[in-house]
Structure 1
Amino acid sequence: MEALIPTPADCEVRSVIKIFNAQSIVPIEIHRQLCRVYGPNVMSKQMVCRWCRQFSAGRQSVHDEKRNGQPSIITDDLVELVREHIMENHRVTIAELSSHVPQISCSLLHEIVMEHLLFRKLCARWVPKQLTPEHKTNAGIVFLHDNARPHTAQRTASLLQEFSWEVFNHPPYSPDLAPSDFHLFLHLKKFLSGERQHFENDREAEMVVTQWFQSQAADFYDTGIQKLVPRYDKCLNFGWDYVEK
């Protein structure tokens, strides 16, 4: 597709996105219109969605935010380019990223990955420190369970593959790394024992437990997931040994 307007300024493209977004045009259609006018490499779909979210949230400026000190060559589009390469291959190294983004140094690449994208290396994979709405809607499911025989059975593995779920690598001798075990069920057991509850039947027990799950705030579940990172690091340092705290 030949561009009608080649090499546009970033602020020009963002201004077009801002206008279309104000007209409630969906991001995928905005991206199609941008590619028709500026060419297929003008901006990725993910970046268009990101700018639409920012404008919908009240952002007015179409320029990069000013930073203290010397002008930075790290732009939003450059950050998005690095993010796309990481999402394509979670095991990519900084050196490999440098071959895809040769215009900046490895130190700046590391800054983008760690400080702008908030990724860190976990078991040789880049994983986000905190999930964004975009991660939650676009990223695939990463499934974590222990090494019990029913979990490692061929039938289970085939089913997970059918679901297209990525199975998180689990140490062979540390069954206490799943957030459900060290966080969710721990608090649930305290709730059930503290209330000294007795149930007439399984249906009543199921109803009480379901209500307890639904009563927990979103940050309760987020806390359990975030604790996985330091626990996994500690497990690695202990040579795959048990992690109690």
Structure 2
Amino acid sequence: MRSSEIHKEIAETYNEGAMSRSRVYQWCTWFGEGRTSVDDQPKSGRPKTSTNEQNITRVVRLIKCDRRMKIREIALKLEIPKITVHEIVHDTFGYRKVSAR
């Protein structure tokens, strides 16, 4: 089936909610090249975040040694961005506070 026919059927079925013609053509090209999914392909290059297993382990080790360390101090000591430490402490482990005063 040609991509123009596929787009026509999609447009008839979904009306205003139909995907664009260029997207249908792109997907048809991808599947014609042997691709089996429309999910994003892995990207090359630098990772978008430094929240990785190594940094998580390093942060946890520091917190266990000194529960009074501030996020800023941990970031400086480990030489990783403050936002990364914040994500590890708050998002990964769900800590609200590392220590009480």
TM class by smaller structure: 0.3 to 0.5
TM-score by length of 1: 0.21
TM-score by length of 2: 0.47
